[in-house]
Structure 1
């Protein structure tokens, strides 16, 4: 059974491949599928660009700008330029172990201040050059925006990772033996 809060792949009764996108819920408990269906929307897989690590960011951005969605397949994606999600209702779904790694201080994923964007199933790694952020949602200073509390941007199973090999902001601490 799929996680009830994040998108999932399924084949419908006619044999068509789709992505189920659960709607955001408030003040609920228990399963949302008591009647056998998950509240939300269904998007045909044909509306998704199925990206691989060799897919250029420009191709991804062009597809998203034309109103498409993104399915990120397993692999390591070196991202030197942000993937920009600027359209309300866009779905970015990672499957398997899809990992975006910042290269040269880039912010691997930016999401505009628009309603209903769904990002799920991604790991985002810091690179060897310090990035201002790994994922950016909305404007950095919080000004302006078109977000909607009734249709929020959601992040599900999105993992941000800063490892020892990276350049991360931290305050050096003296060794306990010093």
Structure 2
């Protein structure tokens, strides 16, 4: 009796896959126009680090006045480098600040949603309003699915808005439109 053994072997070596991913990332970086400035900044930092090593070996034999003059020159060089690359630093700090701001807004929205749901669980009137809003949304979605696609202007407006309002914001808007 003959039996066959089928062993599933990968068609591509895992090292080749990792290399392809690495080369793809290099190509993405190369396609971006701002990468050369970042490489120049990295080179500047490397030169500064090597200069610090050389200076450390030389400073051990210097007098205090020479060390002071070297520190003044180094600080002048550092401030010149900061002035030269101020736009890169400003853009980086702006991105970091935007990430922190967005995460703070997300946390605040999550806290507001948690407070609203806790209120809805303890107050039957709020729960009834929430269920009515959900059923209205579901019925609106069913009506929209049965009709023709929305106009391009409406789609552009929705894409500009970008974010779906939180549950708290949606209920606040609903209640504000009802009572005022």
**TM-score between both structures, scaled by the size of structure 2:** 0.18
Structure in which a larger fraction of residues adopt strand: 1
Structure in which a larger fraction of residues adopt helix: 2
Q: Which has the higher contact order (CA 8 A, sep 6+)?
A: 2
**TM-score between both structures, scaled by the size of structure 1:** 0.19
